[in-house]
């Protein structure tokens, strides 16, 4: 459902031949949407070196005890805060909009950096330390009643989350709690060797991938076969956006969930995967369930506004676990435009 990291030293030959990795035998083996390579465009010897270096660094970090990881994350956060100043200023502006000027913005930006590094490392630690047969033991699931009914019915649906908690861990548990087959819509990492390893590790955990470009062509096929499609919709979209308020300011929003909800009748379940105090243990909360019959005739802006409102509740519950480092409001006005009588 977004970017991740992986360091498993596995044979990439099946991927080079153009086929998927072996799925866990406990899950469905059919592919409602055919396998597609989610490989980055940058290749060559230098990219191989960078891939190996990144994988080695994350592998080392994933083996450190928690007592050492905490100060390591703090040090990396302070370095990033000073070196990546533009990104840190972006986070300050976003936090000011959401939490108000009275918030301790410097501390919040540092925490955003710490949380980002923790997500990266924990995404690697989870498959290393938790075997698939025990993965459910690391997740507490809190159901919204509508979402539970959809999951138990076997009806195809859309899972929508945000960059809150550990969104990669949320993808990892989805096929094991009733959403199988599960496809995550993702954008490939630009480094081709790294993206190949990432795709293979994801598939070995039961997560199938749809490239973001062209995903709306394949998503209906998955849903009609009783599968689920995962989306991260809390970042600024560039293609055919709709404008809806997010923390009181207009934001460019993705219309994909609205299309699937209204055109093919797919329920949209909004879910967050929060980290807990216990390492590598998570709390999955289904917060809302949007049913197509409730939104018959609704405009995409209305659906986006509903999703944004749920996102705000998710984020404010644990603001220290949100990815504030994204430039959410670029290319949008500071206030929502007034609707004309024809658009009302």
| pLDDT single digits (tens) 116-157 | 999 989 988 898 889 999 999 999 999 999 999 999 999 999
Number of compact structural domains in the chain: 1
Q: Is residue 288 included in any domain, yes or no?
A: yes
Letter string b/e over residues 269-308, b meaning 16 or more CB atoms within 10 A of that residue's CB: bbbbbbbeeeebebebbbbbbbbbeebeebebbebbbbbb
Q: Is residue 126 included in any domain, yes or no?
A: yes
Omega before residue 181 within 30° of 0, cis: yes
Q: Is residue 342 included in any domain, yes or no?
A: no
Confidence of residue 9 (pLDDT cuts 50, 70, 90): very low
Q: Is the pLDDT score of 14 beyond 80? A: no
Contacts of 292 (CB under 8 A, 6+ apart): 261, 262, 265, 266, 267
DSSP annotation of 226: T
Q: Is residue 197 included in any domain, yes or no?
A: yes
| pLDDT single digits (tens) 45-84 | 999 999 999 888 888 887 888 888 889 999 999 999 999 9
Q: Is residue 317 included in any domain, yes or no?
A: yes
Assign 210 to helix, strand or coil: strand
Measured in whole angstroms, the distance separating CA 275 from the mean position of its chain's CA atoms is: 14
pLDDT of the residue at 11: 38
Q: Is the pLDDT score of 2 beyond 90? A: no
Mean pLDDT of 227-253: 94
Confidence of residue 7 (pLDDT cuts 50, 70, 90): very low
Confidence of residue 12 (pLDDT cuts 50, 70, 90): very low
Q: Point out the least confidently predicted range of 59-73, 146-160, 240-254, 261-275.
A: 59-73
Confidence of residue 337 (pLDDT cuts 50, 70, 90): low
Run of H or E residues at 249: strand 249-253
Q: Is residue 333 included in any domain, yes or no?
A: no
Mean pLDDT of 299-324: 97
Mean pLDDT of 218-226: 96
Q: Is residue 194 included in any domain, yes or no?
A: yes
Q: Is residue 339 included in any domain, yes or no?
A: no
- Beta-bridge mates of residue 210: 185
Q: Is the pLDDT score of 10 beyond 50? A: no
Question: What is the helix, strand, coil percentage profile of the chain, to 5?
Answer: 45, 15, 35
Contacts of 68 (CB under 8 A, 6+ apart): none
**Could you tell me the residue range of the domain that residue 186 belongs to?**
13-321
């Amino acid at each position: 459902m977004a970017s991740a990291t992986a360091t498993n030293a596995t044979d990439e030959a099946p991927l080079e031949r153009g086929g998927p990795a072996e799925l866990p035998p406990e899950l469905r083996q059919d592919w409602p949407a055919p396998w597609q390579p989610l490989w980055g465009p940058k290749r060559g010897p230098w990219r191989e070196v960078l891939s190996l270096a990144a994988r080695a660094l994350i592998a080392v970090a994933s083996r450190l005890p928690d007592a050492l990881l905490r100060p390591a994350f703090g040090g990396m956060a302070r370095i990033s805060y000073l070196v990546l100043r533009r990104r840190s200023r972006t986070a300050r502006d976003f936090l000011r909009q959401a939490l108000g000027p009275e918030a301790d913005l410097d501390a919040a930006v540092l925490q955003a950096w710490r949380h980002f590094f923790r997500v990266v490392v924990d995404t690697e630690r989870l498959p290393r330390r938790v075997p698939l047969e025990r993965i459910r033991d690391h997740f507490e699931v809190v159901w919204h009643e509508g979402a539970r009914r959809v999951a138990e019915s076997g009806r195809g649906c859309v899972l929508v989350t945000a960059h809150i908690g550990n969104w990669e861990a949320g993808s990892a548990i989805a096929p094991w709690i009733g959403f199988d087959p599960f496809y995550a819509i993702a954008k490939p990492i630009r480094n081709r060797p790294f993206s190949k390893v990432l795709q293979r590790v994801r598939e070995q955990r039961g997560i199938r991938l749809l490239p973001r470009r062209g995903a709306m062509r394949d998503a209906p096929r998955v849903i009609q076969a009783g599968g689920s499609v995962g989306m991260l919709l809390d970042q600024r979209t560039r293609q055919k956006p709709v404008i809806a308020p997010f923390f009181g300011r207009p934001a460019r929003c993705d219309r994909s969930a609205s299309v699937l909800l209204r055109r093919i009748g797919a329920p949209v379940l909004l879910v967050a995967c929060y980290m807990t105090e216990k390492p590598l243990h998570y709390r999955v909360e289904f917060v809302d369930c949007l049913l197509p019959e409730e939104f018959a005739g609704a405009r995409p802006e209305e659906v986006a506004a509903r999703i944004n409102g749920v996102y705000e509740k998710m984020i404010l519950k644990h603001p220290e676990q949100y990815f504030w480092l994204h430039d959410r409001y670029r290319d949008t006005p500071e206030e929502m435009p007034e609707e004309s009588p024809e658009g009302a």
